[in-house]
Structure 1
Amino acid sequence: MKSWCFLAFLWLAYFCYGTLSCPALCKCYSRRAEVVCNEIPMTDYPSEALPNDTTLLTIQFTNVSSISEQDLNATPVLTGLHLYSNHLQNLSSHLLRGVPLLSTLDLTGNKLSELPVDVFSHAPLINLVLKNNLIKKADSNWLPDNSSLVWLDLSGNQLTEMPTALLQKLPNLDNLDLSNNRLHKVSANSLDSLAKLERLNLQNNKLETLHEFMFHSTRNLTYLFLSRNKLNKLPQNLFEELRHLRLLSLDYNQLSHIPAGLLDPLKFLDEEGLDLSDNPWLCDGKVEYLWRWLKKNKEKVFLPNTIICAKPEALVGRPVISLTENELNLQS
């Protein structure tokens, strides 16, 4: 009788909570089929101890240095895998073949550099985060054609060129983060395939200028981050298709002037949605367009009094918006 009760208890526990196994030092939350391994002295991926019904798995701040297709075969219904800040150096080819339901993969803060062909194929990924690794080139063969990817984060790597060939496979992408890389040029057609793109982060790169047609296919762009580059000039019609833009950051660049009409298409900027601070503005006659635009749209500018003159000497430190027509030698 006792043995029958014990077996019934085990059956009930399995039915309600799933498999009873759990990796050592990890926490398993059976009701939501989640496993969390956080800040433990783990060196190997715990595939043998993972419940096979796991749908969410987090392994972070450990010494795990590799993961293979065989490792992931242990969790065939996995939908979210977060491998934040481990010591991963290599990923196996066809990594995701055993997790056909995986939609989110986060590999932030590892030591990944070169990744094999088809590494992210075989799963319907929606979110892919490769932030803060050592990647120098994003290969177009990582993902299949017409990928379902919506979110791609390649920030904090060592990219020197836009991954144009890879982006051409991502027609559903609405968020692209390439900040904190070493990009020095963006070709005219780099974003042509990203008609659904809403958020683009290119801040903290080495861009000196942008092609005038760069944003002509990204009409849904809403948030654009270009701060902390080396931008010293911008084409007059650069933003002409961005009529839904709500936020634009151009702070910490090398802009001394902007062309007349540049900001006119941006009718729907949020309050304080434009940041032009910390540029070396030359306050001569060519700054008239910026001066007039600031006066008319002050509420759309973040800290307008930080847009200050770097030259001429007589106006150094003066906010552009505070200048008078006489100081700019303008005729009424």
Structure 2
Amino acid sequence: MRVIALLRRRPIEAAWGTFAAANLVAMGLWPSWETIPFHFIWISLTLVYGFRVWRVTATYLTLGVVVAATGALILQDAFIGQQLWGELFEVPLMSAMFLAMVWHARRRHEALAVVERQAAQRASLLERQERFLHDASHELRTPVTIARGHLEVLRRTNGNPAPEIDVALDELERIEQILERLLLLAKADQPDFVVLEEVDVEPFLEDVFMRWSEVAPRAWLLGVLASGKLAVDPDGLRCALDALLENAVKYTETGDLIEVRSRAANGGVVIEIEDGGCGISEDALTHIWDRFARADAARTRAHGGVGLGLAIVDAICKAHGGRCTVRVNGDTTTFALFLPHLRTLLRAHPAHVAELLRNS
């Protein structure tokens, strides 16, 4: 019963065993043709082992049985003169070829096992990191909110201007923003990270542009916008654009150009945000999408942030099946977001908001 159960668990080995036994019978019945079933046995053994790497004991036991059975039949036929004695050299030759296959297959099997272990460890590490980010961000929000509330009460009841309280409130607000972004990044791998709905690209970008054009005194320009319906998460896209425009404001001065434009491409839309600020060094381009990365490590904390904005942009784009890129030409930096699934595409034309801004 145990043998039958084993054969049921290993149908390939059972089929090969039956095939090998039939060929051994053929070697015994037709000695003059025995080299054909002999090679069938060895070739099929090598093929089976290539698919099913056995344990060392089972491998050498199987090899020993095949060597003994085929060698005995050839030796018997050589004694009675039906085979040449030189045919016996086929047995060690085929054994050596099979052992070479065993060596390569085991190395490949061990390499795959190492890769799988490393992948599992990396996945476990990423899962623990995401859990830590989520838990830490969630747990820190309560004490930050409490501290902010006490400081605001203290400022109202103090009666006198207190710059220290204003600084503390600004820092708490900054911490709250960091916690919100950490929570957002912690959800990046969740299946419900983005909830798609159809958005009209042109008015959506106009709304984002109008909000930011009132924030900072820059030379704001709304360029040509592509028309059409885009399947996106509107909150996620707005968050990504806000992060890019916040960066553009940070690294530009009063009067510098910041342009928002879009165009249809490859069945989707490319949204570009260009600024004429200080640019990005080539060394920084390779890691600006990483979490906590900064374009310039020497920047002050107030100016450079903590390096989560572009990581959020990257996560949101990838969750939509898109991608984000950046190109630098001197002091001009252009971030481009490609998002797929644009439909009902009409002729691209300048937005009427740009005309309103020029006439105002």
- Normalised to the residue count of structure 2, the TM-score between the two structures is 0.21
Q: What TM-score do you get using the length of structure 1 for normalisation?
A: 0.22
Structure number with higher relative contact order (C-alpha < 8 Å, ≥ 6 residues apart): 2
Higher helix share: 2
